[in-house]
Amino acid sequence: MEQTTADLIRSQLRRLRVAAGHTQEEFGKLVHYSASMVSAVETGTRPYDRQLLARADEVLTSGGLLASLLRIAEREGQPSWFLPWLDAERQARQLRVFQPTLVPALLQTEGYARAVIRCDDLLSDEEVEQRVAARLDRQTILDQPDPPQLIAVVDEAIVHRREERLRTPMAHQIEHLIACAERPNVSVHVVPLSVGLHVGLYGSFSLARGVDGGWVASQETQLTASPTDNEANLATLLARWETVRNEALSRQQSIALLNEMVKSWP
């Protein structure tokens, strides 16, 4: 598999630590992390975060190497604050995603992704295309030989956005959702409009379960998103996941509803 920027960041972190003569335990004390967390970050079973990398640059006197790698990754099409979650996503064995307003990024078509990203009028055409390419690249985890299990819950409202410029991308997107939902490692569940108000309307969130069985969560906002494995936050989001999943239709009912939506688009 081609080495990603996240792989490079982890390998450089380990190289710098070893070159400095620190064990994982010694290094952990210096950066205020446990030895087990340092090990998990280096092996990719836990995502790194900006605070760890900034502190590591200081402790290992690396001249800002790790921070520079983050900036390189940002220029490649992803904001640096999003990289830790991408790392968790790429290492995950199970993914659970709830989206009340947009099709989840891992299930977006190129046309829909471009339409969504173009909503940010602060982005240049080049930046839009970089982000579209980066989003499509994320989706390759679903095509690898041993892909993660993805369960996505979406609100029915996302398929009712019918402005003229979105007509063709949205029709193709719904067809793509149906195709994705029929894959063995992907489940798509729709919360019907008839449910009314529910706790998921507070906002989208994602959960990733790594090879070690631990969960990492992320809530994306307009400005930032960062993973957390804080027990209290995880407990809250796992409980909310169960709520929205229980409100949603079954897999086959969801596919049937999406098929009706396709027929309704002229």
Quickly name the fold that domain 92-264 has.
Endonuclease; Chain A (3.30.870)
**DSSP per position, 97-124:** EEESSS--GGG--HHHHHHHHTT-TTS-
How many of the other CB atoms lie within 10 Å of CB of 213? 9
| Domain spanning 5-75: CATH superfamily | lambda repressor-like DNA-binding domains (1.10.260.40)
DSSP 259: H
DSSP 212: T
Gap between the Cα atoms of 180 and 253, Å rounded: 15
Gap between the Cα atoms of 161 and 191, Å rounded: 16
- Comparing 57 with 167, the larger pLDDT belongs to 57
Maximum mean pLDDT: which of 1-5, 110-114, 157-161: 110-114
In the chain, domain spans: 5-75, 92-264
Whole-number average pLDDT of the chain: 87
